[in-house]
Amino acid sequence: MSSTAASAPAAASGASAPVAVPAAKSPKPGSLKRRRTLAQWGFIAPAVIFMLLFFGYPLVRNVVMSFQHYTPSTFFTGEAPFNGLDNWKNVFQDDLFGKALWQTILFTIGSLIGQFCIGLALAVFFNRRFPLNGVLRSLILLPWLVPMVVSGVVWRRILDQDTGVLNSFLGLFGAGDTPWLSSTGMALISVIMVNIWIGIPFNMVILYGGLQEVPKEMYEAASLDGASAWRQFRSITLPLLKPVITVVLVLGFMSTVKILDLVLALTDGGPADSTQTLGTLTYQNSFAQLDFGAGAVVGNILILISAVFAVFYLRANRNEGK
Amino acid sequence: MATTTPAVSARTPGSPAENRPKRRWGATIIGIVILCVMLFPLYWMVNTALQPESGLLEVSPVPHSLDFSGFSSAFKEQGSHLLTSLGVALGAVVICLAFSAPAAYGLAQFKLRGTKTVVFGTLITQMVPGIVIANALYSAYVDLGLVNSYAGLMLADASLGIPFAIVLMRSFMVAIPREVIEAAEVDGAGKFRTFVQVVLPMSRNSLITAGLFSFLYAWSDFMFALTLNTTDDVKPITLGIYQYIGAHVGDWGSVMSAAVLSAIPAAVLLVLSQKYIAAGITGGSVK
């Protein structure tokens, strides 16, 4: 290949057919085009094959697995007999499924509202010009970049009922005995709080990006007309930010609904399954109980829920492109 | 809040020069307070790490005397897992870029039937819950002998970055002028050489951003580390820490030291490459 580039005649004849210089002497137009197409697909095909293996195959396999009976011995014998709808029935009859579904809904809605509102407030704040704005803005990203398991472990220490710093701080005001992670009533709320903390930077950065696109003149005009800051926010910022808001919420939904790392690090799904979600339930079924069939059922439901929102995302993305 | 008054008063000459800097520094102070609140847990992680055996005691707000014993025991017990994480993450970056850069180029520049479907598929893959992939991948890995292997974990971790990298780099490569690519091809360079010698150097920034994010994804990965390994042979730091809290409930100093060590790459990357990270967060999602 390197020699053809050096020799002038080859370069000249290769002008129309850079792919195959020797074949360029008597090309059939059809085959030449096909070769060119093939060469072009050569760039794309490896990634497509990779994605088919690591996303497509698991999706299909998961559906098949949900109709199979898996036991720990399956992995030695390789035998996983089909058992119809047994897995599905078992999962739906188990009270834990309903509980996990409900907790997933609470977790997702609570996290999204908190992340979004605080993220938006911070984005609006950082949209003003002031010294050190850029530095502060990028340092706020740190919680989002630190591995989620690590954040979970750190918060587990902070939220410890007896020796955690949050309770000793609240103790200064005479209210320092909250069992953040150790009571069934508080654990889910605590996990939501931590997830809000993790999600704020992401929301902030994207919304900030959206705010940057809003023309400054619109605010100037509005304030000359005497519109209050709140009025400007409602009538200019929010409508113009709508496409970005959709994207942020849908992406936030996607990453929240399947949560696993954080819950395992904070509570392991406990106490008494009070922080069990569909993500952790899939994990528990498959990798703790080694019932991969049941895990696949919960996983498929998780996919169904995600798919509904994927439609929203793709529509939002399409509008964005226009 | 006060935006209406300054806009009006800015019309009168003289006043903005005295007024503005003061108000701006006020915002800076609020910004610093916000930052302190947001980063407090990370401060607490470092603070706890620097205090001796603090398991059953309350941690003091600042370390009175620096105690590095937590770090030395964390290093002793978690050092090899840090190396594993580093190796796996770097491997994942290489795999990720090797697959996604050519694909991004092809999807951005070639007029082929079916590329729209591929782009669509790339967006879809970002929505598949990881645990679902792990669920199916595990049984496939058992059949292929990839459980407890570096290669297996690298490939799985690369899958976290590939769709993102394709979307990000494609949105960048679309902007490369056709004439530049055609000129290279007229000069006799093949498609592959044009890609390596012209397209890749021009896309340097997006390559760095994509590589950076696939590194962070792989470094942060816990789920594949947890599910695709049944022995301790291949144990990244995330899994190490998770198991550490189970085994060392009393010794938070060591646990937090390990946590600090595992958070260092994120901090370093953030400081060294702020602009790439900001570009990655916005570019990968909105475009």
Residue B28 contacts A where some CB pair is shorter than 8 Å: yes
Chain B: residue nearest A13 by CA? B188
Question: Which residue of A87, A145, A190 is the best one to mutate when testing the B interface, meaning the one whose CB has the most B CBs within 10 A?
Answer: A145
The pLDDT of residue B53 is: 64
d(CA A218, CA B13): 23
Running DSSP on this structure, what letter comes out for residue B130? Answer: H
d(CA B70, CA A230): 50
Residue A4 has pLDDT above 80, yes or no: no
* Burial degree of A113 (CB within 10 A; 0-12, 13-18, 19+): middle
pLDDT band, very low/low/confident/very high, at A307 (cuts 50, 70, 90):
confident
Separation of alpha carbons A3 and A13, rounded Å? 14
Q: Do A48 and B4 touch (CB under 8 A)?
A: no
- Sign (positive/negative) of CA torsion A21, A23, A25, A31? negative
Interface test with A, best of B8, B25, B139, B191 (most A CBs within 10 A): B139
- Average pLDDT estimate for A189-214: 94
**A236, A239, A318, B226 from A311: Cα distances, Å:** 27, 22, 11, 30
Q: What residues of B are in contact with residue A5 (Cβ under 8 Å)?
A: 187-189, 193
For every residue of A113-131, which 3-state class applies, written as one string?
HHHHHHHHHHHHHHCCCCC
pLDDT, tens digit (0-9, with 9 covering 90-100), for B159-208:
999 999 999 999 899 989 988 888 888 887 788 888 998 999 999 999 99
What is the rounded distance in angstroms from the CA atom of residue A58 to the CA atom of residue A63?
9
In whole angstroms, what is the distance from residue B4 CA to residue B44 CA? 40
Interchain proximity A140–B35, CB inside 8 Å: yes
Chain B residue nearest residue A46, CA to CA:
B99
Of A58, A122, A206, which has the smallest distance from its Cβ to B285's Cβ?
A: A206
Nearest residue in B to A212, CA atom: B282
Residue B270 distance to chain A (closest CA, Å):
7
Sort B122 into a burial class: Cβ within 10 Å, 0-12 / 13-18 / 19+.
buried
How far apart are the C-alpha atoms of A84 and B90, rounded to whole Å? 43
User: Which residue, among B215, B159, B36, has the nearest Cα to A147 in the 3D structure?
Assistant: B215
Integer Cα distance of A55 and A49 in angstroms: 10
A280 close to A263: Cβ distance less than 8 angstroms: yes
Please give the Cα distance from B7 to A306 (Å, whole number).
46
- Alpha-carbon dihedral B112, B116, B122, B128, rounded to 10 degrees: -140
Decide if pLDDT at A10 tops 60: no
Rounded Cα distance between B210 and B164, Å, is 8
Is residue A205 within 8 A of residue B278, CB to CB? The reply is yes
Q: Measured between alpha carbons, how far apart are the two ends of chain B, in Å?
A: 32
On chain B, the residues whose CB falls within 8 A of the CB of A181 are none
**Is B125 an interface residue toward A (CB < 8 Å)?**
yes
Lookup: tokens for B126: 């970002």
Q: Report the C-alpha gap between B84 and B78 in whole angstroms.
A: 10
CB contact under 8 A, A136 and B7: no
CB-nearest to A299 from B105, B131, B241 is B131
State the ipTM, two decimals.
0.87
- Return the SS3 of B102: helix
Cβ(A125)–Cβ(B34) below 8 Å: yes
Cα distance between residue A305 and residue A308, in whole Å: 5
The answer to whether B1 touches A229, Cβ cutoff 8 Å, is yes
Q: Identify the band that residue A12 occupies on the pLDDT scale cut at 50, 70 and 90.
A: very low
Would you state the pLDDT for residue A197? 97
pLDDT top residue among B177 and A19 = B177
Instruction: Write the single-letter amino acid at A141.
Output: L
Residue A157 pLDDT > 60, yes or no? yes
Q: Return d(Cα B267, Cα A146) in angstroms, integer.
A: 8
Q: In this complex, do A47 and B102 lie within 8 Å of one another by their Cβ atoms?
A: yes
Radius of gyration of chain A (CA): 27
* Whether A203 contacts A116, CB under 8 Å: yes
**Inter-chain residue contact B263 with A46, CB threshold 8 Å:** no
> CA B184 to CA A313: how far, in whole Å?
38
A68 forms beta bridges with: A82
CA distance A153 to chain B (A): 8
Q: Are the Cβ atoms of B3 and A54 closer than 8 angstroms? A: no
d(CA B94, CA B197): 18
DSSP track, A197-232:
HHHHHHHHHHHHHHHHHS-HHHHHHHHHTT--HHHH
Q: Regarding predicted confidence, which is higher, B51 or A130?
A: A130
Instruction: Enumerate residues 6+ apart whose C-beta is below 8 A from B179.
Output: none
| Token pair belonging to A70 | 């898996």
Asked if B100 and B166 touch (Cβ cutoff 8 Å), the reply is yes
Contact A229 B3 (CB under 8 A): yes
Instruction: Please report residues of B whose CB lies closer than 8 A to that of A224.
Output: 7-8
d(CA A288, CA A96): 15
Alpha carbon B83 to its chain's center: 17
Q: Look up residue A128 and give its DSSP letter.
A: S
Which pair of tokens denotes residue B68?
A: 């590095």
- Most A CBs within 10 Å, among B25, B33, B135, to test the A interface: B135
Q: What are the pLDDT digits (tens) for A59-98? A: 999 999 999 998 878 877 878 888 889 999 999 999 999 9
Note if the pTM is more than 0.95.
Answer: no
Subunit contact A223:B4, Cβ cutoff 8 A: yes
Please say if the pLDDT value at position A24 is more than 50: no
Name the stretches of chain B with pLDDT < 70. 1-23, 53-58, 247-250, 284-287
Residues in chain B: 287
Q: Residue A121: closest CA among chain B residues belongs to which residue? A: B34
d(CA B133, CA A121): 35
pLDDT average, residue stretch A51-63: 94
Tokens 């459980």 correspond to what residue?
A: B147
Sequence-ordered list of residues with C-beta below 8 angstroms from that of B146, at least 6 positions apart, any chain: B140, B152, B155, B228
CA–CA min distance B30, chain A (Å): 9
What is the per-residue pLDDT for A80? Answer: 82
Tell me: pLDDT of A125 over 90: yes
Q: What is the mean pLDDT of residues A266-282?
A: 93
Dist CA B246 CA B249 (whole Å): 6
DSSP A251-318: HHHHHHHT--HHHHHHTTT-STTTT--HHHHHHIIIIIS--HHHHHHHHHHHHHHHHHHHHHHHHHHH
Answer whether A163 sits within 8 Å of B59, measured CB to CB.
yes
Q: Is the pLDDT of residue A104 over 70?
A: yes
Please report residues of A whose CB lies closer than 8 A to that of B252. Answer: 157
Number of CB atoms found within 10 A of residue A22's CB:
10
Tell me how far apart the 2 most distant CA atoms of chain A are, in Å: 91
Q: Which residue has the higher pLDDT, B38 or A129?
A: B38
Say if residues A88 and A69 touch (Cβ distance below 8 Å): no
